[in-house]
A and B are shown apart, each in its own frame.
With several copies, the nearest count.
Chain A
Amino acid sequence: MKSKLNLDPQMVERARAAAATIADNVTDFISQRTTESVERTVLRLFGVDGIDADGVPLPNVVVDAVHEAGLLAGGVTRPFMSALIATGLSVQELAEAVADGTVDISSIALAPEADIRAKARELAAVGMDRIRQNRSTRDAYLDRLDGGQAPLLYVIVATGNIYEDVVQARAAARQGADIIAVIRSTGQSLLDYVPYGPTTEGFGGTYATQENFRIMREALDEVGEELGRYIRLCNYCSGLCMPEIASMGALERLDVMLNDALYGILFRDINPQRTLVDQAFSRMINAYAGVIINTGEDNYLTTADAVEAAHTVLASQFINEQFALRVGLPEEQMGLGHAFEMNPMIEDGFLMELAQAQMAREIFPRAPLKYMPPTKHMTGNIFRGHIQDALFNMVGIMTGQGIQLLGMMTEQIHTPLMQDRHLALENAKYIFNNARHIAEEIEFAPEGRIVQRAHAVLAESVELLERIVETGFFEALAKGVFADVKRTIDGGKGLHGVLLRSDDYFNPFEIALREELGLGPVKVGVRG
């Protein structure tokens, strides 16, 4: 693809190098730690599921027990495998036994390391297999059915009730949606467990549960089969249970996951250490499962001004890219986020939006960029809103975005009604088709406003990234470089769930995933 913006490759290189330094330093930090949710994820991948009599998920029950026994720093696997060996129970039976008190995991002596490793390898293979299987099921679908063409049409459902969500999602699929995202209930990201079972009572979204994933997957496969199209399913792999949700998604064949290295820190005040450790493991799972991640740079522009803060979006894209590369997530699965969030009343705002979107396209040529619609400047005037969304769609097709998260004209009013989604899909389908090849046809005046704007934003983000390298990443977060939000390394929610790994820390899935992803074993202490 010929560059339309004539971006200076050296500037891009500098930005990438700075982001790489940031990621390297933090990766070292991550490698020395685990979290409760990472360990719960391990159990889920072994096959632990269900809840106890009080409704507490069994992965929480077991991890809490191991934690209380003072054994979690070495990973939940060793005590859990030992107990399996000792009791002869199945994985699920053991978890239930721990829950109902018939097995006291703290009192079981550790099995010989070789036995533990053998058992763990054997059991991990089952989980890994299921994920691999799902991946090839998806591949087979995509071979056989139409997988859509970029920009993929991404819509949300958010009724709070999985059974209404299913109806809305299937209708959306029939109307042409390529990706269905089930928005989560407000507050779920701050829960330190994953709710269980099919749910019908969420606010502004539906709880992410494994059963809800399964139901929606089944419903979409069915309608997709009928339509001859593969309908992708998306959920939120973020919050205090980030890696657990990654595992649930991998097990239920989700295709896309919101999954950002910084979002939880900045927007949910989750502890930075917790988030960074969790995101690394969750991304390994997503990488292996062939899940496209969506990063959350768009969120910056909901609190900061989109014109002024444009460079923070780009800087964060670079950082997300580097974090993702560190855990083996290929560019083709990086749905780096950005957004059409400038005040619609700005003269030539459309030109600046074009510049930003084209710039992302040229700098991350292989990433299926996730492009977010206007939200902050949407008002109760649904008619104007529908046109704001139309211009957004126009920029999407003009700049070859990968995933177009469709705007709804009622953005300011309520979570989407069925007809809002219908009209949003119609909007995008019309524009994408009617201007299908426009990206090939349009060039930008070489010294013009669009080109200059892109150059300026790139320069600012190079400066920002290099400043972060200088300041140190955690210090930069504490100073509020992103989204005007300040976060300290020991602040926020979930720090209590972060543990320094013991020297003999053992996580068979991490080992298997790193192997499969070609990452080589964890190395600590090289930097930092």
Chain B
Amino acid sequence: MNETSRVVEGQPGDDYRDRIAKADLTRIRPYGDTMDDGKVQLSFTLPVPDGPEAVEAARQLAAKMGLAEASIVHHEGTGEGFTFFVAYGKCLHTVDYAHIQVPKVTSEVMDFYEINHYIQDRIGRKVVILGACTGTDAHTVGIDAIMNMKGYNGEYGLERYPEVDAHNLGSQVENEELVRKIIEYKADAVLVSQVVTQKDVHIKNLGALVDLLEAQGLRENLILVAGGPRITHELALELGYDAGFGPGTLAPDVASYVVQELVRRGLAK
């Protein structure tokens, strides 16, 4: 035998759990295969033809994004003077996860029966909820999932709730029309769905509704909820809504929030 090094780095029988690297939660980084290696995958297109300069430009861009050892693993001209890139690199930025505070819908999620009981016990009358997909948006599947009888993913929609008076106004409902319906139905809560987000049309449209409601003095006594695949609770709050719901929402999530909020705000009269 000629080799000398035999590779021993710890003691057999050590508890492996003690030796697994832990993340520093005040400075987390992406994880590839080793704690803190920072590995990130990127892809993008640049408006320059493929070639060594294009690759260098891609590398520089990744570097500016804070990636060390950025490696352009794929580059391919896509015609018309554009090039597509795939890159990997080690992100030098860290995030303080330990101190993140995310605004969350804090109400407790109840089920179908609990919600109806809650309404009977704490509100004592039917709760009127309108739903609509507004502006030029015609994507009804999301709001239907919340409102319609048959519901979604095995959960009934609000129309099925005996203690809820639910009205689904459908799609392409203009804000002015929606306000008219709020008055007509004396709505307790309004659920607004926005799916198309190109050029931020949802932001404009959602904002316009708040302005309209405020102008008419309706905002205060109304629970205003937004939802859609690109809606977060945070965004909804920023836009002047009471709550926002994203992908995967089910009727009980919204209904639980609405009824508890009605009681909390003293609107359950």
Q: Do chains A and B touch in the complex (CB under 8 A)?
A: yes
Give min CB distance, A146 to chain B, whole Å. 17
- Shortest CB distance B57–A (Å): 16
The answer for the CA separation of A21 and B269 in the assembled complex, in Å, is 58
Which residues of chain B have C-beta atoms less than 8 A from A174's C-beta?
A: 78-80
B3, A191: Cβ atoms closer than 8 Å: yes
Q: Which of A180-196 contact B (CB under 8 A)?
A: 186-187, 190-193, 195-196
Against B, the Cβ 8 Å flags (1 = close, 0 = not) of A295-328 are 0000000110000000000000000000000000
Cβ B16 vs Cβ A55 within 8 A: no
Q: A residues 451-484 with Cβ under 8 Å of B?
A: none
For A175, what are the chain B residues with a Cβ–Cβ distance below 8 Å? 78-79
Say whether B84 faces chain A, with CB atoms less than 8 Å apart.
Answer: yes
Among residues of B, the one whose C-beta sits closest to the C-beta of A50 is B12
Other-chain contact of B6, A57, A268, A412 (Cβ < 8 Å): A57
User: With a CB–CB cut-off of 8 A, which chain B residues contact A55?
Assistant: 4-8
Residues of B within 8 A of A161 (CB): 34
Q: Does A232 sit at the interface, judged by CB under 8 A?
A: no
Complex Cα distance A456/B141, Å? 27
Q: B221 within 8 Å of A by Cβ?
A: no
Q: Please, how many angstroms separate the alpha-carbon atoms of A6 and B262 in the complex?
A: 60
A380 at the interface (CB under 8 A from B): yes
B143 CB, nearest partner CB in chain A, Å:
12
Cβ of A172: which chain B residues have Cβ within 8 Å of it? 79
- Of A159, A207, A413, the residue contacting B7 (CB under 8 A) is A207
CA of A189 to CA of B242, assembled, Å: 34
Contacts of A57 in B (CB 8 A): 6
Contact A197 B11 (CB under 8 A): yes
Interface membership of B113, Cβ < 8 A: no
Please tell me if B173 contacts chain A, counting CB pairs below 8 Å: no
Tell whether, in the assembled complex, residue B196 and residue A383 are in contact, meaning their CB atoms are under 8 Å apart: no
A173 to B73, CA, bound (A): 25
Q: Quick check: B74 and A193 within 8 Å, CB to CB?
A: no
Dominant secondary structure of chain B at its interface with chain A:
loop
Q: On chain B, which size bracket covers the interface?
A: 35 or more
How far is it, in angstroms, between the C-alpha of A485 and the C-alpha of B91 when the chains are bound? 42
- Complex contacts, B82 vs chain A, CB 8 Å: 171, 418
Interface core residue of A64, A193, A419 (most chain B CB under 10 Å): A419
Asked if A171 meets B16 with Cβ closer than 8 Å, knowing A60-B1, A203-B201, A413-B73, the reply is: no
Q: How far is the CB of B22 from chain A (nearest CB, A)?
A: 11
A197-B8, A199-B7 known; A192+B198 contact, CB < 8 A: no
Would A64 and B1 count as touching, CB distance under 8 A? yes
Residues of B29-84 contacting chain A, CB below 8 A: 31-35, 39, 41, 43-45, 71-74, 76, 78-80, 82, 84
Closest 3 CB pairs of A and B: A55-B6, A174-B79, A380-B73
A-B contact pairs, 14 of them (CB 8 A): A164-B33, A164-B34, A171-B79, A171-B82, A172-B79, A186-B138, A197-B9, A198-B19, A203-B199, A218-B16, A382-B74, A410-B88, A422-B76, A422-B84
Measuring CB to CB, which residues of chain A are less than 8 angstroms from any residue of chain B? 51, 54-57, 60, 64, 158-164, 166-168, 170-175, 186-187, 190-193, 195-201, 203-204, 207, 209-211, 214-215, 218-219, 267-268, 302-303, 376, 379-383, 410, 412-419, 422
* Given A164-B21, A210-B12, 20 new contacts (CB under 8 A): A163-B21, A168-B33, A171-B79, A186-B136, A190-B172, A193-B3, A193-B6, A198-B16, A219-B16, A379-B247, A380-B72, A380-B73, A380-B74, A380-B247, A381-B86, A383-B86, A414-B197, A418-B31, A418-B32, A419-B78
